[in-house]
């Protein structure tokens, strides 16, 4: 679990938050005598600026796009 923005946690410290695309299971946890919003964070998958692919033509079969 990592510290996240307080906006991910509910204001009521007794209730755990839901989930929001970038974090899972946000909740208030006491750390060094104070409460902090903690959650499991999700990392974004690698997205290329320009997708790479080739269109392959197979004689008698047709065309197929190959991504790499």
Q: How many CB atoms lie within 10 A of CB 24?
A: 15
Q: Is 32 left (phi over 0), alpha (psi -120 to 50) or beta?
A: left
* pTM exceeds cut of 0.85: no
pLDDT digits (tens, 9 = 90+) for 2-38: 999 888 887 655 555 555 568 889 999 998 899 999 9
Q: Is 7 left (phi over 0), alpha (psi -120 to 50) or beta?
A: alpha
pLDDT score of 27:
92
**Cβ–Cβ < 8 Å for 67, 55:** no
């Amino acid at each position: 679990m990592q510290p996240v923005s307080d906006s991910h946690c509910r204001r009521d410290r007794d209730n755990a938050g839901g989930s929001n695309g970038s974090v899972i299971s946000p909740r208030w946890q006491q750390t060094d005598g104070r409460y902090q919003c903690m959650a499991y964070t999700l990392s974004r998958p690698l997205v290329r600026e320009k997708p790479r692919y080739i269109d392959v033509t197979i004689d008698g079969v047709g065309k197929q796009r190959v991504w790499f």
